[in-house]
Amino acid sequence: MSDFKAEFLEFAIGQQVLLFGEFKTKAGRLSPYFFNAGLFNDGLSLKKLGEFYAKAIDASGLAFDGLFGPAYKGIPLVSTLAVAFAAEGRNLPFSYNRKEAKDHGEGGHIVGAPLAGRVLIVDDVISAGTSVRESVELIRAAGATPCGVAIALDRMERGLGQLSAVQEVSRDYGLPVISIVNLDDLAGFLSTRRAARPEWSATLAAIEAYRATYGVRA
């Protein structure tokens, strides 16, 4: 596992963004973990989150010209990522959408830089893929090209069919999906640290059982 992946998991657990226990998902499943990126809710944690996104995207080698964050969670994510890239010496344009078009002032759905060239979509997770679909449509309508999606966590979990939501996005739109971490990373992290945190042995067993029922292969 890359160092930044382990650092991110430690960070997410420390911020109580990643919790262990029993949580009901939208699909009605009882998940042994819960991830809520909305709890990166102060300046320092948001700054660090942007830096982790930048590290994962840099490691992917994906080429892109601009960044797009779907409303609403994608707005702070794309903003902090743009700042993180600027700190690396890479000044990138970014934009995001409104849920409803504005009929005065500058008008329209898009706020920020004009969409142009190859655009990377930035979000927290992919559940049903709805925000990705809407983002792809907005980017293409502006004459730009969606080139990938960056998320914080890939749950590697089946939707209604045999593929995960991430795999469905890749299949349907031909887009690579970059995640800071995925469920394999989380399982590996817990496995290597359970000697120091004995309670994580039960957590790891629960995650492995959940993945055996609902998981997909990378």
Backbone dihedral angles phi then psi of residue 91, each to the nearest 5 degrees = -90, 105
Backbone dihedral angles phi then psi of residue 26, each to the nearest 5 degrees = -60, -30
For the question of residue 109 being annotated catalytic, the response is no
Cα distance between residue 60 and residue 174, in whole Å: 16
DSSP letter (8 states) at residue 114: P
3-class DSSP state for residue 217?
Answer: coil
Pairing of strands 66-69, 118-122: parallel
Written as six digits, the tokens of 180 are 């800071």
For the question of residue 47 being annotated catalytic, the response is no
Q: What are the catalytic residues?
A: 102, 104
